[in-house]
Amino acid sequence: MPKRSTKMGTLWSSYVTHPDITPEAETAPTFDPLYGFQNGRKARVMIATDAEMKAARIPKRFRDYCAHKFLELEDCRKYHFPMMNKCDHQNHAYQQCQYEDYVLRMKEFERERRLLERQKRKQQAAAA
């Protein structure tokens, strides 16, 4: 009997099993961001400005919605060097911000996937 392997994950479903209902991770959403929200959505705003990030020489990979927390962490590290363990609170706040940003991006991806599934079901029902 041949060995059976399990194929799982976004990469497998993106290219093999369900390429038509798997959204591209790096592209903008194809559906209206306010669709399904009667009272609208809270807009995400960058707290740290580009000028502040350039002045602080923050690397581009850290210039996201948590850049203000990263600035606080770096300021604390500079102030308390070499006792950087005193910056645990700022480090925790930055890590929590990164986690919340990840969860929000994951929810947006899942929302887009479900809307694509819904659109496909509607098209199949209309064609039948």
Residue carrying the six token digits 């350039």 = 54
H helix count then E strand count, the chain: 4, 0
Cα–Cα distance measured from residue 100 to residue 91, given in angstroms and rounded to the nearest whole number: 14
Q: What are the residue boundaries of the structural domains of the chain, listed by start?
A: 37-120
| Burial class of 67 by CB neighbour count within 10 A (0 to 12, 13 to 18, 19+) | buried
Q: 59-103 pLDDT, tens per residue?
A: 999 999 999 999 999 999 999 999 889 999 999 999 999 999 999
Give tens-digit pLDDT for 9-47. 667 777 778 778 888 777 888 888 888 888 888 888 999
